[in-house]
Amino acid sequence: MVSETGPRLRAQLDGIPTYKPGRPAPTGATAYKLSSNENPYPPLPGVMEQVAASAERLHRYPDLACTELTAELAGRLGVPAAHVATGTGSVGVAQQLVQATSGPGDEVLYAWRSFEAYPIVVQIPGAASVQVPLTPGEGHDLDAMAAAITDRTRLIFVCNPNNPTGTVVRRAELERFLDKVPSDVLVVLDEAYREFNRDAEVPDGVEIYRDRPNVAVLRTFSKAYGLAGLRVGFAIAHEPVADALRKTAVPFGVSQIAQDAAVASLRSEEQLLLRVDALVKERDRVVGGLRGQGWTVPETHANFVWLRLGERTLDFAARCERAGVVVRPFAGEGVRVTVGESEANDLFLRAAEEFRTVL
């Protein structure tokens, strides 16, 4: 007999927000995608050659342990290889971190608005999100976050720089916050945009984690390293946490092409970071241009800018799209705009200026 109810799915899945990717640029028109915080530069030639060479072994499973990549990262960061855990993008590793620490009845704390995957990865294992509003300056309210810790808190994300606002948490305030967090609560410093930071007071999470067993650092090859399409990210964490990440990983999740391209990118790091410098200059030009037009733009240390537009958010995004740039609107809140090619940034600045004249 055919059942009429269908398979029983976990109730925790009800109400999980769907991840909305940045919209692609429409085909056929001159349009730029400034909606996903991607790197506008294509992979470096050496990386492309490595990808082609690795593709010859597509009939083989990848190295489950990501041995070469792990060794390369451990050497560069000065950490034991056992503290490096790789995964399918840093969002994959973020999901594993939640699975390893939190389930029904547990709470995961983070600022809001922040990276939109956090509510999703928290809810999948049945944990509850506790979202602490950003300050009026669009940054983390660490005092309020410390006050929101309860006996149920198992994990805290600190997104530094914060997506989508670009704001940063500085060393002294972070240390003060970490001193207040119970030692059995894991704090994850999500540093997806770290390479774009130019403020010396913003700490390197890897330095912070060294003498704090309850701190893990999350990094990615998707942004500065320009490998978003290959899905590879990693965490640096003390052994119990790193071991738990190896247990929760999808076996063979990181393809050999991704592993090899990541190693090749690390070995071309100097050239890659010159591109990051160029993007930082472009970012500063965009921020200067917007402020010159009269916009309030929070200080950003990432590869994007944030405009709080409230009810005008969707109108603004539509105007940008008509001008040839696809941005990322968060309805009722604001727009995040990735720093892209100079021509794209020019189009965006022009659209922003026109929008102000019709306000």
Ligand X SMILES: Cc1ncc(COP(=O)(O)O)c(C=O)c1O
Note the residues at the interface with ligand X (CB under 6 A). 37, 89-91, 115, 159, 163, 190, 192, 220, 222, 228, 233
Q: Which residue is nearest to ligand X (CB)?
A: 89
Cα-to-chain-centroid distance, residue 121: 13
Give the nearest distance from C-beta 159 to ligand X in angstroms: 5
Using the minimum distance from each CB to ligand X, give the nearer residue, 89 or 203: 89
CA dihedral 48, 259, 91, 248 (to 10 degrees): 160
Using the minimum distance from each CB to ligand X, give the nearer residue, 185 or 302: 302
Give the nearest distance from C-beta 225 to ligand X in angstroms: 10
Using the minimum distance from each CB to ligand X, give the nearer residue, 32 or 115: 115
Using the minimum distance from each CB to ligand X, give the nearer residue, 125 or 161: 161
Give the nearest distance from C-beta 103 to ligand X in angstroms: 22
- Kindly give, in sequence order, each residue whose CB lies less than 8 Å from that of residue 46, ignoring residues fewer than 6 positions away: 264, 267, 268
Q: Over the range 284-297, which residues count as b (16 or more CB within 10 Å of their CB) and which as e?
A: eebbebbeeeebeb
Using the minimum distance from each CB to ligand X, give the nearer residue, 146 or 228: 228
Give the nearest distance from C-beta 305 to ligand X in angstroms: 14
Give the nearest distance from C-beta 127 to ligand X in angstroms: 18
Q: Rounded to 5 degrees, what are φ and ψ at 59?
A: -80, -5
Using the minimum distance from each CB to ligand X, give the nearer residue, 57 or 198: 198
Q: Over the range 310-324, which residues count as b (16 or more CB within 10 Å of their CB) and which as e?
A: eebbeebbebbbebb
Amino acid at 104: P
Give the nearest distance from C-beta 25 to ligand X in angstroms: 18
